Amino acid sequence: MKPRVLLLSTVHPPTDPRIVYKIAPSLSPFYEVICALPNAENRKTNTAIQFINLPYFRGLLLRILLCHPVLLWRCLRFRPAIVHIFVPELIPMAFLLQWLGAKVIYEVQENLYKKFAIKRYNNAVIYRQFFNFFDRIARKKFHCLFTEDAYLNEYSNLALPHAVVHNYVSLPFIDAYGKTKQELTEPPVFFYSGVISLERSFDTIIEALAILKVKYPEFHLHLFGRIQFDWKEVKKLPHYEKIRQNLTFHGYTDLRKALPYAPGAVAGIALLKPVADYSDSYTTKLFEYMALSLPVITSDFPLYREVVEKTGCGFCISPYDPQELSNTFQWLIENPEGGRRMGQQGRKAAESRYNWANEERILLRFYKNLMEI
């Protein structure tokens, strides 16, 4: 009989690429995998992965009062060998499950010590204090997984074995639901996937597109992701009304449904400002664009330059410079062969290094070692 694993989150959707399309399938040949996630009621899968539906609330207090008891009630009966939590608010519950015999993996996907500075909700002082308290206990009691090497600078005093499992791209997933870059479409199309916010240079993108529109008035930008800005604030941007008709906001979308919009795009955009932990951590969209053979336009962080400039898969530019971004758009439109070469080089780099298959081996070894303790 396979050991039972619980993957738990009160925040991540049932289409979360890392949990549902990478970690769970990687574990399922060796473990009985159960995912407890919000809004998973209608989740259908042909694999051995079982889904437990949880209610979703945006506010942390409502989640603690109304979602955590449901999670506890539905998961206590499973008596798992391993509990893998993806959000720090579940640390207290993980202690209970550990007391009942489970081994706990605490996955750190962001540096909240830096990220609190830009959070627009669930940012009360008492939440920060609770996080600091429970996070420091978890360092001593749980086995930790990290998505970025830089997080080890913050988490340097770990009592138990830990590992870094990067959130690189799953090539079989990309190839199943998307296609590598084809001939450029007319008029030009750009592809954006991820959170949409001013911290992620939405204002810079708007101004750059307004400049581009003087020469190429018929371009289009597809944006897939949660909107995290105030619409009143955005509508006040000087150039928003000029290019509003050139934008399509698809909202948060299952990656399987977003990928078909990528083939034929001029570039994939992943431009972040150097705030919070952004400059220390990869945007996963960088590797998805590379796997799709799209030229990448991203920020000029040293971490990103190490990937993009060494592989020649795109451009690293200032997230504050709309003229430079517009020039980059124009160059890619007017130099399709150059863009195609960048896309091909990005795909090769994804195949050789920046792929989930490499990280899967680290994950499975980490789980195996944990089971043997």
Alpha helices in 142-259 (DSSP H): 151-154, 171-177, 202-213, 231-235, 240-243, 255-258
Q: What is the CATH number of domain 4-168+356-372?
A: 3.40.50.2000
Topology given in CATH for the domain delimited by 171-352? Rossmann fold (3.40.50)
The span from the CA of 337 to the CA of 348, in Å, is 17
Q: Between the CA of residue 172 and those of 21, 35, 51, 255, 309, what are the distances in Å?
A: 10, 21, 22, 13, 25
Question: What does pLDDT average to over the chain?
Answer: 94
CA 20 from centroid of its chain's CA atoms: 12
Task: Report phi then psi at 101, rounded to 5.
Answer: 120, -5
Helix (H, G, I), strand (E, B) or coil at 31: coil
The reply to whether 4-168+356-372 and 171-352 are identical in fold is yes
Q: What is the pLDDT along the chain (373 residues), one digit of tens a residue?
A: 899 999 999 999 999 999 999 999 999 999 999 999 999 876 665 568 999 999 999 999 999 999 999 998 888 889 999 999 999 999 999 999 999 999 999 999 999 999 888 887 788 889 999 999 999 999 999 999 999 999 999 998 899 999 999 999 999 999 999 876 667 888 999 999 999 999 999 999 999 999 999 999 999 999 999 999 888 888 888 899 999 999 999 999 999 999 999 999 999 999 999 999 999 999 999 999 999 999 999 999 999 999 999 999 999 999 999 999 999 999 999 999 999 999 999 999 999 999 999 999 999 999 999 999 8
Question: What residue ranges do the domains of the chain occupy?
Answer: 4-168+356-372, 171-352
Task: Report phi then psi at 250, rounded to 5.
Answer: -90, -10
